[in-house]
Amino acid sequence: MQLLNVITARSVWLFDIAELNPRGKALFPDLFEWLKEAYDFQKVPSSLTDVDDTKAFVFSNGQYQAKEEIFVHVELKIYNDGLMANTQSSTRDTDRFLEDVLISASAEFSLNFRPEMIRKRLYLSELNVFSLKHFANPGFEKFATKIAQATSSNGPFDFEFGGVSFWPRQSFPPLAVAAFHFERKLNTDRDQHKYFSRAPLQTDDHLQLLTDFEGELMA
């Protein structure tokens, strides 16, 4: 399984934001301006009421130096119960970005961040990948033929098995876990061998799982 590109590498760190600022120091607008300057965000909240439909403060189109001379695009959302960040490189970079935000902001504004405050870390990985193998299941192929026969009045359309999903048996808010998806990439045909996958995993773990998927379920 070969990586084509990372679509989303999301990290969610859950903790009580209020514990960062136990004595309620006034941080607006200084904190927002500092974040804008520190990470070159092109869009930042204009006021304490400027939130999105999920009630988050959104900082978008920023940059974070992941390695020497390597910058990655970042998005940050601040909630009452934690932080969410996206990159298009890896969740490892996203975690480092969140850690940098918390440590640097704490130093700048005398906040009270401790790593043990983080009670939960959640991840979402979305990848486009390439594989020369195809789904290997004669039963699905036979059923695809039945679909084609049943819809023959609409035209000579062929059908084939295009994807699979695995859902957690129990997944409820606020800690709902995303399903695992693997399917042909949208608007591509079989001969292009391109696939899309989503998983509630770190990027490297997702890629390893896809390698296992390819070896066990594709031929």
Mean pLDDT of the chain: 94
- What digits encode the pLDDT tens for the residues 146-189? 999 999 887 778 888 889 999 988 766 655 688 999 999 999 99
pLDDT, position 174: 54
74: three-class secondary structure by DSSP: strand
> Can you give the pLDDT at residue 172?
62
Geometric angle at alpha carbon 8, from 2 and 11, rounded to 5°: 120
Q: What is the pLDDT of residues 79-107, one digit of tens each?
A: 999 999 999 999 999 999 999 999 999 99
Percent of the chain whose predicted confidence (pLDDT) is above 70:
97
How far from the centroid of its chain's Cα atoms is residue 88's Cα?
Answer: 9
How much is the pLDDT for 136? 74
Phi-psi region of 17 (alpha: psi -120 to 50; beta: other; left: phi over 0): alpha
Taken in order 18, 24, 26, 31, the sign of the CA dihedral is: negative
pTM summary value = 0.92
User: Residue 219's pLDDT band (boundaries 50, 70, 90)?
Assistant: confident
Cα 83 from chain centroid? 13
At 32, give phi and psi (nearest 5°).
-65, -40
Residues in Cβ contact with 95 at an 8 Å cutoff, skipping those fewer than 6 apart: 11, 121
pLDDT at site 168 = 86
**φ/ψ (deg, to 5) at 151:** -105, 15
Nearest to 54 by CA among 207, 148, 174: 174
The predicted model gives 36-58 an average pLDDT of 97
Express as a percent the part of the chain with pLDDT over 90: 82
How would you list the strands of the sheet with 2-14, edge to edge?
57-67, 70-79, 82-87, 2-14, 120-130, 194-199, 180-184, 163-166
